[in-house]
Structure 1
Amino acid sequence: MAKKKKEVAEEPLEKQLWKTADKLRKNIDAAEYKHIVLGLIFLKYISDSFEEHYAKLVAGEGEYAGADPEDRDEYKAENVFFVPEYARWQFLQNHAKVAQIPVYDPEGKGIIVGIGGAVDNAMDWLEKENPPLKGVLPKVFARQNLDPASLGELIDLVGNIALGDVKSRSADVLGRVFEYFLGEFALAEGKKGGQFYTPRSVVELLVEMLEPYEGRVYDPCCGSGGMFVHSEKFVTQHQGRLDDIAIYGQESNQTTWRLAKMNLAIRGIDSSQVKWNSEGSFLNDAHPDLKADYIIANPPFNVSDWGGELLRTDGRWKYGVPPTGNANFGWMQHFIHHLAPTGQAGVVLAKGALTSKSSGEGDIRRALVEAGLIDCIVNLPAKLFLNTQIPAGLWFMNRNRQGGDKFRDRRGEILFIDARNLGFLVNRRTRELSEADIQRIADTYHQWRTEGGSYEDVPGFCMAAPLARVQELDYVLTPGRYVGLPDDEDEFDFTERFTTLRAELEAQLREESVLNERIAENLAKIFTA
């Protein structure tokens, strides 16, 4: 009998594309290459959207009868970017392997360019015809270190992304690829790259817990816009209406802000209220009068040069003046300042903010607890973040904890969740929360805060602690102090544990010995060469 062939699981499309695109990178730094690849994906997306609407206008059926396919207003009315002839994807793909390409620039001047110059020219055309894109798109394709042949291959690769998919789904495919590439570039750049990217599982957890179905969603340190993308995705998945959400954001890094604008545009999300200025949210608040229904944010941890010395008398510091050497409680009070009377926030902070008593931070934390603003604290696993190994936690705040609608009165208690043991290792450096982990944490929170919910304390995982217990522990908010040990810790077997650890140590020592021998052999080859 013939042997049955072993089935090999096919890799997801985005992973296949990443591997191929990365091979074409050659001598280009990931930080630079990021804008080349993401710029092309963006260009493909808006060109696909344009071509789809263009075909409807050419057909001239129903409401489009008599419409002019070259009329910019026809596209603006449908929230579609107008793409001029020299910026259309088909034009670029047809010339991807051509050495000399005749084009007109946005000033009407005829020029001869290579494929890199043609893509830069396309970006110039798009910005001219679509004011919301002004100053957003990358013009990095004619650089000397970008091989034209590799760029041509990259254009072919991106051009094939939506093949085999229903045309109307191409935006979803391109959006998914864009998001995946953002994460992979953040990994490739390491610590620096992580500053523009919050891990997907952390964003999903924040959004699942807050459930932002409608209202104003605000992120004053929005990075590449992941919080907004997942808020909109959440509404879609729960059959809500996207028009019920309005997003507001701010970013101080202009390059990252450009990524955010492209990330949002590729999802069809209005980013007109996502602002950039170099001073940042503390010194130059782009939305000074905003009162948000939801705040979802991951501010940079423990920042010391945040301009605190210039803001000692700022009106945002209702619960105490934050120390000049650490922005954590400056961010906390900035968030609270922007919350609507029934608003709620879910934010990431360094774990030290749960315990610190230096420079008045303990007093601010106590004031926040006594004001009844703290709803829930979640202790996160290590290695979730790409740019830091600093332990982190989630803070959930709510201005309306007295109940009403579907929520119960939660004044006088705080929910603590210790999720340090959840998640799985993607590699030695990085951990992710699984969908089941996210659901477990979110469900625990929802059952606790919902009227008639089935919440119960789980030793080692969660506890609804009364305010008296928090006061007793001097307002330290580390979940481990409250949830205790899981029940199975009572069955701890010292002999078994010691034997396991000793076996692991012996295995590591053997591995170390082998590695030392290899190093010695390689050194000997070098010196005898």
Structure 2
Amino acid sequence: MAKQPTKKTETKSFEQSLWDTATALRGNLEPSEYKYPVLALIFLKYVGDAFTIQRDKLIADGHGSVAEQPFAYTKDNVFYLPEESRWSYLQQHSKQEDISLKIDTALALIEKSNEALRGALPDNLFSRLQIENASLSALIDAVNNIDTTSSEDVIGRVYEYFLANFAANEGKKGGEFYTPNSIVNLIAEMIEPYSGKIYDPCCGSGGMFVQSLKFIENHQGNKKDISVYGQEFTATTFKLAKMNLAIRGISANLGEAPRDTLKNDQHLDLKADYIMANPPFNIDKWRGEDELLDDARWAGYEVPPVGNANYAWLLHMISKLSVNGTAGIVLANGSMSTSTKGELAIRKQILENDLVDCIVNLPSQLFYGTQIPACIWFLSKNKKRKADNTGKTLFIDAREIGYMKGRVLRDFTAEDIAKVAQTYHNWRDGENYEDIAGFCKSSELEEIKKHDYVLTPGRYVGAAEEEDDGIPFEEKMADLTAKLGEQFAQSAKLENDIKANLKGLGYEF
């Protein structure tokens, strides 16, 4: 098992301090609501600092005459801010009684002035929530301490930290919009989204897209080589995603509005090179009994049953893959073995069509909001890569990797992620791959058929081989027998002592 990595106390202290200030709002708001004003203020601080830096640069370069012209900012991917929406203005008026109204006005002005943010920012949020002025003023002061110029990604790091903590503190409801970094990182490292179209049909707060960008930057790629497409059902989460992507400088097409992807697909003609998704687990009644029966996404397959949407998500994403597309999809473990009418038939069809590239069984306790065991399906439209894996599926049992980050949450180290990703890459590329008992196995379709099309990795990888310590069996048994004799003697002595004590108290057996 991997060792727990050393914590960076310096970064943790800064973020924790900001978090502690933010949690003071919990006295005023419901737990599910207080994340929105906090994240909105972090967003305002980021765009305000970016605007000020650009404005100062324009003036320093002798272009002060255009310092109040929107084009002088948008040409460099900086949001133009009218005076009343700038962070300096809000910070200056933070002690006034109408600060809630001023913040709402600032958000409305920013959205009106920047087409890319249409529909992204909260509407009358602060006025509606009626936050106490003292709490709001303290929060503005805390957010003001974020130095967005010290590191290119400091605001993104803070935003991500808050999303994770909101999810952890809100349980199931909070976890719905946030996929833990350990899982997102693993998917990105495995499918390697360097260039092309990236799609997430249930994008939550946009974590899959953010990690794709990080992957590209970490591998010296160019974020201009990717196009981002997504969709989200919940209106407030849709706005969180837009803000999250905006502060990272990621331009994305998330559809015209929040919509249910399975019932109202806003990217009908999309063919994606990479799909990264964590759809909600085991959703029932996702369509009416007579709805979507002739949908083009199920062409060539059984119609996904009403009782569980897992296979509807699978078929939706298969329909979105380009001819060389790859997908990493997080699903409940039941998806690997269900024999429910319709689901088993679809799984057989997917396998017969040779689309299942790899299955990774995940350890427990990775998610904030659910204890449902999970796995990742990796699908591929083209298995003829460096190595021709036509008709083969790689199974990886990763249930024993990771470390406990706290009492209830497990995480992966960089080494854990590298181990799983490199195993997949070696198999995919035909370089230095070998089956490892208890961990990974490359299986032909004929073998999968013998297991009734069940995809649980444990069926294939077997048990891990125990290391031989070189001690002969007879010697081990002699040692164990001697220890057992000592324990029996100690037990007998303890029994006699207890009887003697009881006798002294007048209680004799």
Please give the TM-score of this superposition, normalised by the length of structure 1: 0.84
Distance in 2 separating the partners of 1:30 and 1:206: 30
| Mean CA deviation greater in 22-31 or 318-327 | 22-31
1:391 aligned to 2:358?
A: no
Partner of 2:3: none
Which one of the candidate residues 127, 135, 138 is aligned to 1:153?
138
* Residues 121-165 of structure 1, C-alpha deviations (whole Å, 9 max, x = no match): 111211221133233212322346511111111111111111xx7
Contact 1:350 1:392 in 2 (8 A): yes
Distance in 2 separating the partners of 1:346 and 1:49: 34
Partner of 2:410: 431
Q: How does 1:168-207 map to 2 (within 5 A)?
A: 169-207=150-188
Partner of 2:16: 15
The amino acid of 2:372's aligned partner reads I
Change beyond 3 A, Cα 1:327–1:143: closer
Distance in 1 separating the partners of 2:442 and 2:198: 27
The amino acid of 2:418's aligned partner reads Q
The amino acid of 1:83's aligned partner reads L
* Residues 173-210 of structure 1, C-alpha deviations (whole Å, 9 max, x = no match): 11110011011011111111111111111111111101
Partner of 1:107: none
| Mean CA deviation greater in 385-394 or 202-211 | 385-394
Change beyond 3 A, Cα 1:170–1:51: farther
SS in 2 for 1:488: coil
Distance in 2 separating the partners of 1:220 and 1:92: 36
CA apart distance, 1:213: 0.2
Distance in 1 separating the partners of 2:288 and 2:415: 40
1:419 aligned to 2:398?
A: yes
Change beyond 3 A, Cα 1:490–1:333: farther
Partner of 1:448: 427
1:56 aligned to 2:62?
A: no
Partner of 2:310: 328
- What is the number of residues matched between the two proteins? 465
Partner of 2:357: 375
CA apart distance, 1:344: 0.7
CA apart distance, 1:261: 0.1
CA apart distance, 1:278: 5.3
1:125 aligned to 2:109?
A: yes
The amino acid of 1:302's aligned partner reads N
Q: How does 1:9-408 map to 2 (within 5 A)?
A: 9-10=9-10, 12=12, 13-60=14-61, 65=63, 68-99=66-97, 114-138=98-122, 139-143=124-128, 145-162=130-147, 167=149, 169-271=150-252, 273-275=253-255, 277=257, 279-307=259-287, 309=289, 310-317=291-298, 318-403=300-385, 407-408=386-387
Distance in 2 separating the partners of 1:335 and 1:152: 45
Contact 1:175 1:267 in 2 (8 A): yes
Distance in 2 separating the partners of 1:202 and 1:466: 27
CA apart distance, 1:426: 2.3
Distance in 1 separating the partners of 2:33 and 2:113: 26
Partner of 1:3: none
SS in 1 for 2:282: coil
Distance in 2 separating the partners of 1:278 and 1:10: 38
Contact 2:232 2:259 in 1 (8 A): no
SS in 2 for 1:243: helix
The amino acid of 1:89's aligned partner reads W
In the alignment, structure 1 segments of 5+ residues that lack a partner are: 1-7, 100-113, 500-529
Identity over the aligned pairs, expressed in percent?
50
Change beyond 3 A, Cα 1:249–1:316: same
* Residues 86-128 of structure 1, C-alpha deviations (whole Å, 9 max, x = no match): 11111111221234xxxxxxxxxxxxxx211111111121122
The amino acid of 1:160's aligned partner reads N
SS in 2 for 1:142: helix
Change beyond 3 A, Cα 1:67–1:473: farther
Contact 1:67 1:74 in 2 (8 A): no
In the alignment, structure 2 segments of 5+ residues that lack a partner are: 1-7, 485-509
Distance in 2 separating the partners of 1:395 and 1:358: 19
CA apart distance, 1:170: 4.9
SS in 1 for 2:330: strand
Give 1 or 2 for the bigger CA radius of gyration: 2
CA apart distance, 1:29: 2.1
* Residues 461-489 of structure 1, C-alpha deviations (whole Å, 9 max, x = no match): 11111222111111100001111111128
SS in 2 for 1:340: strand
* Residues 306-327 of structure 1, C-alpha deviations (whole Å, 9 max, x = no match): 1153011212113322111111
SS in 1 for 2:283: coil
SS in 1 for 2:250: coil
Which one of the candidate residues 459, 466, 471 is aligned to 2:449?
471
CA apart distance, 1:427: 2.7
Change beyond 3 A, Cα 1:308–1:388: farther
Contact 1:402 1:409 in 2 (8 A): yes
Partner of 2:487: none
CA apart distance, 1:14: 1.9
Distance in 2 separating the partners of 1:323 and 1:308: 10
CA RMSD, Structure 1 to Structure 2 (Å)? 2.2
Change beyond 3 A, Cα 1:91–1:212: same
CA apart distance, 1:25: 3.5
Contact 2:166 2:174 in 1 (8 A): yes
The amino acid of 1:37's aligned partner reads V
Distance in 2 separating the partners of 1:433 and 1:426: 9
Partner of 1:513: none
Contact 2:365 2:371 in 1 (8 A): yes
Distance in 1 separating the partners of 2:312 and 2:402: 30
| Mean CA deviation greater in 259-268 or 119-128 | 119-128
CA apart distance, 1:20: 2.9
Distance in 2 separating the partners of 1:412 and 1:135: 45
Please give the TM-score of this superposition, normalised by the length of structure 2: 0.87
